[in-house]
Every structure is written in structure tokens, then in C-alpha cells.
Amino acid sequence: MNYETLIPLIRKLAIEAGEKIMEIYDGDDFEVKAKSDDSPVTAADEAADALISAGLRAELPDVMLVTEEQADSHAAKGDTFLIVDPLDGTKEFINRRGDFTVNIAYVENGVPTRGVVYAPAKKRMFYTHPSGQSVEEIGSFDPETPGELREIHVSKPDNGALMVVASKSHRDQATDDYIGKYDVKDMKSAGSSLKFCLVATGEADLYPRVGRTMEWDTAAGHAVLAGAGGKVVRFDNHKPLTYGKEDFANPFFIAYAPGVELKDA
């Protein structure tokens, strides 16, 4: 894969998908449908998916593509592929809370190595530079011309005063019980893959996820966090979270800045 070609492409597609999403978000009421697993889907999910998929297939036709909104892609097999969640945080979108993202990632040999996370309502965008270093772009988000880029790095955590981020829509007692094992200075809630990005920028030290996620939910955020010096490990054994699993379902996991003294499940 030529990263010098890949990164401008996925950045551009994420911004263009974000524009489509915001047209619907800022408009009148939109229809909410239920998928086969009862999770919600909107016209914004579908429009963003169509745009991103067409763009990726046109430029990278030989690379395996997995996308949340196309069930036939979930039968694909391999450990090197593009993976897309065109609108992560659909519940945040439906409730007009703003914490939703466009996610595009490239996985190599089971590891997310490059990715983009764009939060159009929050006007924040994070991605891995071709070099592998993660950046936050600040500016007008022109699809053709990048704005100012700021390198991002994880924190140097204080285990006596940790900053924790947890899910806004999926917070439960099991999550609270695990967080209770740490000395926590402050806690934030965030939706979608933004939680990975808050750890990547040093705004949080630790993000535990004790709940169901799919690889398309996490791959782009995982790549951004890794490019900022962070790690994502399985909750049960603290081994690295890998991709290309049989059904693209993740086990519980912990995303963190190295230096956090991880507690057992």
C-alpha cells in the first residue's frame, strides 16, 4: 500500500461523507430504520457509505473492503483490508448530540496501521500521517487542501490521578466496576470512536470498553491511538486487539496510554 496516496484519499472521503451527513443532520426530521440486529440506521449512514465505498473501490479496486452498512462485505476473509464505519455513533446522530464520526481504516496483517476519524459536528479530525505519526487537523476541512496539522501524543499518566473516558450511550455497571479499580481524577463521557482520539491527544489516559463492538467501530480510532503512542489490548488477557476475526466482532478491550498500570478484569 502506498500511504502517500492512501492518506489523502481517506481524508478526502471522510470530509465529503461528513458534508453529506451534516446536510441531513441540519435538515428536518429524518427517518430512522432498524437493521436486522435492531441497531438503528439513517439516510446519513447510507449516503456516507455509498460515497466512501465508491471512492475506495474506484482508487483501490484490488483491496478487500469491509463496511458496516454492506452485509455482503462481512463474509470477506483476510487480515489485510480497508474497513469503514460511515457513521459511528448513530444514536448520537439521531439525538443530535454531535458525538458521531466517520471512520476509515487500513488493516495490515491484523493490525490497524492507518486511519481517519472525522467528527463533522464537533469540527475535529484525526488521522495517521503517511509516516505513521497521528495528527489532528485544524482548519476549514477542505477536501482537497489540508489545514494546519498538529502532531498528537498520548499522556504520561499519573496512576494516582487518572483521566478516564467512557461510552456515553453504552455505560453500564460492569464498566463502572472496572473503572472503580483505578484512582480516577476525572471522568469524561464521549460517543463513538472519539474516545480513542481523546486518549490519543492526552485528554484522557484510559478508555475501557466492557461491551459489544465490531471491528469497523474501532479500527480507525485504534490506528489513530497507535500512531500517537497508545495501545489497545483485550480486556481478558491484555494481549493486543487484532483484526480480521471470523465475524469482525471484538472482545472487550482497554485503550490506554502506556504508563497506565492496567488492572485485571
Q: pLDDT per residue over 118-145, tens digit each?
A: 999 999 999 999 999 999 999 999 999 9
Domain-ending residue, one of 151, 179, 214: 151
Cell of 133: 505519526
In a domain, 263, yes or no: no
pLDDT bin (cut points 50, 70, 90) of residue 8 is very high
What would the pLDDT profile of 205-240 be if each residue is shown by its tens digit? 999 999 999 999 999 999 999 999 999 999 999 999
Q: Are residues 203 and 121 in the same domain?
A: no
In a domain, 261, yes or no: no
The separation between the first and the last C-alpha atoms of the chain, rounded to the nearest angstrom, is 37
Residues pairing with 105 in the sheet: 83, 115
Distance of alpha carbon 195 from alpha carbon 205, whole angstroms: 10
pLDDT at position 30: 75
Q: What is the largest CA-CA distance in the chain?
A: 50
Distance of alpha carbon 241 from alpha carbon 261, whole angstroms: 18
CB environment 108-125: b (16+ within 10 A), e (fewer): eeebbbbbbbbbbbbebb
pLDDT at position 264: 94
Residue scoring higher pLDDT (176 or 168)? 176
Residue 37 counted as an annotated binding residue: no
Residue 62 counted as an annotated binding residue: no
What would the pLDDT profile of 141-171 be if each residue is shown by its tens digit? 999 999 999 999 999 999 999 999 998 766 7
Say yes or no to pLDDT of 32 above 90: no
**162-167 and 184-190 as β-strands: parallel, antiparallel, unpaired?**
parallel
Q: Are residues 28 and 147 in the same domain?
A: yes
pLDDT at position 42: 78
Angle between helices 43-59 and 3-25 (to 10 degrees): 160
Residues 5-15: what's their mean pLDDT?
A: 98
Distance of alpha carbon 51 from alpha carbon 59, whole angstroms: 13
The closest alpha carbon to 101, from 50, 55, 44, belongs to 44
For the chain, strand residue ranges (E) read 32-34, 40-42, 65-67, 81-88, 101-108, 111-119, 124-128, 134-138, 148-151, 162-167, 184-190, 206-209, 213-214, 231-234, 249-250, 253-256
CATH code of residue 15: 3.30.540.10
Residue 28 counted as an annotated binding residue: no
What would the pLDDT profile of 189-210 be if each residue is shown by its tens digit? 898 899 999 999 999 999 999 9
Q: Are residues 48 and 171 in the same domain?
A: no
In a domain, 156, yes or no: no
pLDDT at position 38: 63
Q: Are residues 131 and 167 in the same domain?
A: no
Query: 79 with 29: CB under 8 angstroms?
Result: no
Residues 18-26: what's their mean pLDDT?
A: 93
Q: What is the pTM of this model?
A: 0.95
Q: Are residues 103 and 191 in the same domain?
A: no
Residue 87 counted as an annotated binding residue: yes
The closest alpha carbon to 199, from 171, 159, 231, belongs to 231
What would the pLDDT profile of 64-119 be if each residue is shown by its tens digit? 999 999 999 999 999 999 999 999 988 888 888 899 999 999 999 999 999 999 99
pLDDT at position 40: 67
Segments forming the whole domain that contains residue 72 = 3-151
In a domain, 54, yes or no: yes
Distance of alpha carbon 127 from alpha carbon 260, whole angstroms: 24
Q: Are residues 179 and 239 in the same domain?
A: yes
Q: Are residues 147 and 85 in the same domain?
A: yes
What would the pLDDT profile of 51-60 be if each residue is shown by its tens digit? 999 999 999 9
Residue 89 counted as an annotated binding residue: yes
pLDDT bin (cut points 50, 70, 90) of residue 36 is low
